[in-house]
Amino acid sequence: MAKVIAGVGCSHVPAIGAALDMGKTQEPYWKPVFDGFARAQEVMAKLKPDMVIEVYNDHGSAFSLQYIPTFCLGVQAEFQPCDEGWGPRPVPVVHGDPDFAWHLVESLILSDFDMTIVNEMEVDHGLTVPLSMMFGPVKEWPCPVIPLAVNVVTYPPPSGKRCFALGRAIKKAVEQYPKDMRVVVFGTGGMSHQIHGERCGLINKEFDKAFLDGLTADPQKIASIEHKTYVREAGAESIELVMWNVMRGSLEDNAIESFRFYHVPASNTAVGNIILTNPGVL
């Protein structure tokens, strides 16, 4: 059967993608960021996933304020990188797996998660930047990717507890799929940052590091963090971290921290990356 073997938490800062695309990875400002992700790529190469389920948020590219699904899942065969105002990123087309995606969406809906089914959409930096950071500059992504978009743009976003429960439902759905596959779940976004208002540029290293610690030490506590706590302690856009709870919920309770990277600054954002593996995987 299929099995979730690992989870990845990864920031999706658009400027990181731009630095990669423009050949700036060895410039003094960016080199520490890309050196950290190079080590993460070594871990991913050992994991050899057959499938990635990527939890991310759209940034007004696929969805406008007319339609705001809380949870939605893409079921098409391929997803083109979108033009976010400066042209599409020069990255490979994201190939999906309709058979697996339909199995996943059916299982989640029958597990009482009202998923929006998306038959056609493009994907933005929220999805493509973590792929670039985990797999490097490649001609083709090494495996199919199932996009699972979460609303963290307009209030109210789902709670951390609800996201954790979604991860549990994903774990169940994956294990019911009859094909042998090694599945890795990505939770993207964050960490602490605010890109507007009087607190623009806010970074809270203590909050970020405690969050990373808690993903292994006390994931239920992390899942219980309230929206107002994210906003107060780590900036308005840190609410994206609720998506990391989906990743954590898809893993075993005793998942192991196999890799961690944290760096400030990259643009005006704290960059976090963690890879958690189920026991015996590495």
Q: Which residues does the annotation mark as catalytic? A: 125, 193
Residue the block writes with tokens 């979604």: 166
SS3 45: helix
**Dihedrals φ, ψ of 181, to 5°?**
-150, 145
Distance CA 133, CA 184 (A): 15
Tell me which H or E stretch contains 107: helix 98-110
Pairing, β 71-74 against β 116-118: parallel
Give the burial class of 265: count Cβ atoms within 10 A of its Cβ; 0-12 exposed, 13-18 middle, 19 or more buried: middle
Pairing, β 51-56 against β 145-150: parallel
Pairing, β 94-95 against β 3-10: unpaired
The number of CA neighbours under 13 Å toward the Cβ of 233 is 17
Give the burial class of 119: count Cβ atoms within 10 A of its Cβ; 0-12 exposed, 13-18 middle, 19 or more buried: exposed
Side by side, which strands form the sheet with 51-56?
Answer: 116-118, 71-74, 145-150, 51-56, 182-188, 3-10, 269-277, 256-266
Specify which residues 31 forms β-bridges with: none
Distance CA 240, CA 277 (A): 22
